[in-house]
Structure 1
Amino acid sequence: MKVNKSRPVNLDLQTIRFPITAIASILHRISGVIMFVSVAILLWLLGTSLSSPEGFHQAANIMNSFFVKLIIWGILAALLYHMVVGIRHLMMDMGYFEELESGNKSAKVSFIITAVLFVISGVIVW
């Protein structure tokens, strides 16, 4: 049996426009993966710093590197984004922001709050 569907197929992903709510959701999942992977890095750094006084100095020296500060800032950024958008998702589970317009506005507000927190965390790391 041959099925002949005449529906259009768009394989050019650059022409697809995702709504802001979809972008917020996709980035929330990505930030969760980043946080999961970063647990290993942070546990290693914590273990090194708690192993001995020399280990603490080694961890402190590692933290002075620009590249490591950038990684730590990225981890903080993922954590902050995941937290802010997670609160938004919890509020949606409680029945708020379920309409299209309020969902778009809440996504924009969560991006603004996250941007402010990114800057603050950058100041703290550096």
Structure 2
Amino acid sequence: MKKQRPVNLDLTTIKLPAAGRASILHRITGVAMFFAFLFILWAWATSLSSESGFLLVQDVMQGVFGKLIIIGTLSALAFHIIGGIRHVIMDMGHWEELSSGTTSANVAMGIWIVLTVVMGVAIW
């Protein structure tokens, strides 16, 4: 029996609430940190292998690509921690209503943006 249900394949027409955006960002930053961890492992292993490896990693990290990787990694870590704290507080029974959940999501994303800008200015 075929079910008649609405199908919306145009993702640009879907408007997520703030809590939905915060939840998706929390998952995306988790995946981003996994891939950043691979870069960190490479940098760590290369820098400990020899003096030339250390100098190579130092040159990479002082370049534009390295700085973008550092800022991106710290930004992902910052939002993941902020979002994780928000989720823990929600698990304890707070901020579960629509208005408080929206407010907490907006505050978490605002803090994340401010921290990312501050870290970017400090690193660059």
Larger RCO: Structure 1 or Structure 2 (Cα < 8 Å, ≥ 6 residues apart)? 2
Q: 1:99 deviation in Å?
A: 0.5
Q: Output the TM-score relative to the length of structure 2.
A: 0.91
Deviation at 1:12, TM superposition (A): 2.2
Specify the structure having the higher radius of gyration (Cα). 1
Count of aligned pairs between the two proteins? 124
Counterpart amino acid of 1:50? L
Aligned to 2:88: 90
Question: Per-residue deviation at 1:113?
Answer: 0.7
Q: 1:49: which partner in 2?
A: 47
Q: Secondary structure at the match of 1:32?
A: helix
TM-score for the superposition, normalised by structure 1: 0.90
Counterpart CA distance in 2 for 1:20 and 1:100 is 10
Deviation per residue, 1:33-65 (Å, 9 max, x gap): 010111110011111222233322221111121
Structure 1 SS opposite 2:93: coil
Pick from 32, 35, 50: which aligns with 1:34?
A: 32
Residue in structure 2 matched with residue 109 of structure 1 by the alignment:
107
* Structure 2 residue 121 is matched with structure 1 residue 123: yes
Runs of 4+ in 1 over 4 A off after TM superposition: none
The CA deviation string for residues 2-59 of structure 1, in whole angstroms up to 9 with x for no partner, is 3453x43333222111111011101110100010111110011111222233322221
Matched residues in 2 for 1:57 and 1:93: separation?
A: 46
Report the equivalent of 2:64.
66
After TM superposition, the structure 1 = structure 2 runs for residues 10-29 of structure 1, keeping only pairs within 5 Å, are: 10-29=8-27
- Where does structure 2 lack aligned partners over 5 or more consecutive residues? none
CA distance in 2, matches of 1:102, 1:56: 48
